[in-house]
Amino acid sequence: MSKAKTRASHKNTAANHAKRDLLLAVVALVAFVGISLGMFTLLNPHAKPPVVLDEATLPKGEKQIALTIVHTNDTWGYLEGCG
């Protein structure tokens, strides 16, 4: 074989190895993500159902309170909305 043919053959082989390595890397990444997601799903405990607030009652002797929320864009702590 001539040197030109061996060089072309070597470039072809190197290109095939690069494609194979890229394919293996993508498959390994997808497998890692899939296994990780499966482990998180299997090992995490189930969430508790939310507490239904309609069934909550006030303690005896207590009355409801009124809450006023004051919102301003002021960062100095002043509560007057227009001044």
pLDDT in tens, 63-83: 777 788 777 667 776 666 565
64 occurs within a structural domain: no
Residue 10 lies in a domain: yes
The CA–CA distances, whole Å, from 52 to 55, 57, 66, 70 equal: 6, 11, 22, 28
Q: What is the distance between the alpha carbons of residues 35 and 28, in angstroms, rounded to a whole number?
A: 10
46 found inside a domain: yes
Question: What is the structure's pLDDT at 26?
Answer: 96
Give the pLDDT score at 24.
Answer: 95
Per the structure, how many domains does the chain have? 1
The mean pLDDT of 22-35, rounded to a whole number, is: 96
Asked if residue 22 has pLDDT above 60, the reply is yes
Residue with tokens 């309609």: 54
For residues 83 and 15, what is the distance between their CA atoms, to the nearest angstrom?
72
Phi (first) and psi of residue 76, to 5 degrees: -95, -5
Q: Does residue 58 sit within a domain?
A: no
Whether the full predicted model's pTM is greater than 0.85, yes or no, is no
Residue 78 lies in a domain: no
With contact defined as beta carbons under 8 Å apart, do 60 and 67 qualify? no
